[in-house]
Amino acid sequence: SELIHTKNSRFQSLTPLTPEDKILQYNNFYEFGTGKGDPFSFAQQFKVDPWQLVIDGLVDKPITLNYEELLTRFAIEERLYRMRCVEAWSMNIPWLGFSLATLLKMASPKSNAKYVRFETLEDPKQMRGQSSRFIGGGLDYPYVEGLRLDEAMNPLVLLSVGLYGKTLAPQNGAPIRLVVPWKYGFKSIKSIVKITLTDKAPVNTWQKIAANEYGFFANVNPQVDHPRWSQASERFIGPGNLFAASRKPTLPFNGYQEEVASLYKGLDLTRYY
Amino acid sequence: MKISKTGLLSAKALIHLASLSTFLYLWLLVEQNALGADPVKEMIHFLGKTALNYLLITLCISPLARRFKQPLLIQLRRVLGLYCFFWACLHLLVFIWLDLNWEVTLFAEEVVKRPYMTLGALTWVILLALSITSINVIRRRMKRAWLTLHRTIYWAVLLATIHYYWSVKSGLIEPIIYFAICFTLLAQRKDYFKSFLKHYAKKKSV
């Protein structure tokens, strides 16, 4: 349904946008199957209301938000972000949401909190990929992602509840998902039920399945190739058909260098990929 | 009962029909924009898998001909193999044209740098060699060398299956099925591999 929002003027100039139907029908969400069309086909009955998002761990004020609160507790703004998948395709998406930092500050993290761990809903009855290793691509469920606390507090990080002016479709991670635009898409965990502040680095799902291919940081980096394919350029999924497909160079930090490069000063990005 | 010449002709007609239908089906998917948001990737996968399927079917022919004592069946190998090469060429063409946009240097780099691309390229080269030498005049001139050359198809199917396995991000079920079929077919040729190993061992000890 429609979501009331304002436009964040800093993030309005991105063209062309990926058409809505492509964002709705081309997804990686292995909880519903490994095919790009599976989430669209098998997530439509997914129930997002009632929902519970818990923020706990090393915080002074743990928070629990229900479905209603996810959409109304914070001012929703629209931001047009580039999205770069580790599989070397990309989209331009008009997200709706609020900054993760706002929520984390509300929970007031303790001084020993260093990392943020995110967890997707585990419900094999609703998510066919969680009930069978063959459907779910052999991942360990529930899906887990993590950020360093300073990364998580960066104003670019969005908790998204919608796109194209409407609440999220299940296949896009309804009711609430993470968007970290300078990292590969798999960091942007979907359908979150738990945000936990910790003092140890969480092991994210893809790192667990293949640590030599997918790291903790997963910053978009044209210089550091995936062991099996180049990350120097990407296929942009935009308007138009097969022959309109275009390949464009991949930008360091997916083009958000100015905002985030300082987070990684002195870090060897070839080693910490 | 032996398969007759007409039977063989109908089998060939069937192969042409199946291939044409596959091509039209793909064409229709493209026309209708039914290949999803990333049609290039879909097309590459579709063509690659079709090529692999044809390769596996080609390798079924000799064991079947022997098992059912139908020597005429052997004649189907060429048409099937050539179609396999046709799909492999389209697979490669779509990759270089629609995915890489004719960035030939990037293509060369990838082939050298990425093991799965190296295997894919090697497979294509083998298929190219087999296709060229399938011309009757050349075949006759090559005499026994032709047989040696055409047995590299056993290596091609192995390379192609690994190439496929390495190209998927995760999910093992389909690659496992392909490996199972591949090894079943190669097991029919265990004598070849035995003598290959023996030959190799002898060379080493000299």
**CB atoms inside a 10 Å sphere around CB B56:** 19
A244, B152, B159 from B115: Cα distances, Å: 29, 19, 11
Profile chain B (206 residues) by mean pLDDT over runs of 10 residues: 89 97 95 86 94 98 94 95 98 93 89 93 98 95 94 97 86 88 95 88 72
A26, B119, B150 from A41: Cα distances, Å: 10, 34, 44
Query: What span, in angstroms and rounded, lies between the C-alpha atoms of A219 and A211?
Result: 15
* Interface contact flag, B100 A242, Cβ < 8 Å: no
- A174: closest CA among A185, A189, A164? A189
**DSSP-based helix, strand, coil % in chain B, nearest 5:** 85, 0, 15
- Apex A175 CA angle, A204 and A49, nearest 5: 125
Do A141 and A31 touch, CB atoms closer than 8 A? yes
Domain boundaries, chain B: 5-205
Q: Nearest residue on chain B to A239, judged by CA atoms?
A: B37
For strands A233-236 and A246-249, give the pairing.
antiparallel
pLDDT for position A229: 84
Minimum-distance CB partner of B38 among A34, A36, A209: A36
Beta-carbon pairs below 8 A across chains A and B: 71
Residues in binding site of A for Mo-molybdopterin: 27, 30-31, 85, 120, 172, 177, 188-190
Interface check for B79 against chain A (CB to CB < 8 A): the answer is no
**3-class SS of residue A94:** strand
Give A57→chain B minimum CA distance, Å. Answer: 32
Angle formed by the axes of helices B115-132 and B153-167, nearest 10°? 150
Instruction: Write out chain A residues lying below 8 Å of B114, CB-based.
Output: 228-230
User: If you search the block for the tokens 């190296």, which residue do you land on?
Assistant: B118
* Interface contact flag, A138 B170, Cβ < 8 Å: yes
User: If you search the block for the tokens 């950020």, which residue do you land on?
Assistant: A147
Interface check for B35 against chain A (CB to CB < 8 A): the answer is yes
Low-confidence ranges of chain A (pLDDT < 50): none
Phi, psi of B56 (to 5 degrees): -65, -40
Give A55→chain B minimum CA distance, Å. Answer: 31
Instruction: Write out chain B residues lying below 8 Å of A237, CB-based.
Output: 37-38
* Interface contact flag, B36 A228, Cβ < 8 Å: no
For strands A233-236 and A52-57, give the pairing.
unpaired
Give A211→chain B minimum CA distance, Å. Answer: 13
Interface check for B45 against chain A (CB to CB < 8 A): the answer is no
Q: Nearest residue on chain A to B116, judged by CA atoms?
A: A228
**3-class SS of residue A4:** coil
* Interface contact flag, B39 A138, Cβ < 8 Å: no
pLDDT for position B171: 66
Predicted ipTM of the assembly: 0.71
Minimum-distance CB partner of B170 among A34, A225, A230: A34
pLDDT for position A153: 98
- A186: closest CA among A209, A161, A163? A209
pLDDT for position B174: 87
Query: What span, in angstroms and rounded, lies between the C-alpha atoms of B38 and A23?
Result: 11
Instruction: Write out chain A residues lying below 8 Å of B37, CB-based.
Output: 18, 21-23, 25-26, 36, 237
Query: What span, in angstroms and rounded, lies between the C-alpha atoms of A192 and A51?
Result: 10
Minimum-distance CB partner of B40 among A30, A138, A235: A235
Amino acid at B107: F
Do A105 and A63 touch, CB atoms closer than 8 A? no
**Residue of A235, A236, A246 to mutate, interface with B, max B Cβ within 10 Å:** A235
* Interface contact flag, B37 A18, Cβ < 8 Å: yes
Do B142 and B134 touch, CB atoms closer than 8 A? no
Two tokens at B45?
A: 């996968």
Q: Nearest residue on chain B to A18, judged by CA atoms?
A: B37
* Interface contact flag, A242 B171, Cβ < 8 Å: no
Q: What's the pTM?
A: 0.85
* Interface contact flag, A137 B170, Cβ < 8 Å: yes
* Interface contact flag, A242 B39, Cβ < 8 Å: yes
- A171-203 pLDDT per residue, tens: 999 999 999 999 999 999 999 999 999 999 999
Identify the helix (H) or strand (E) that includes residue A80.
Answer: strand A77-84
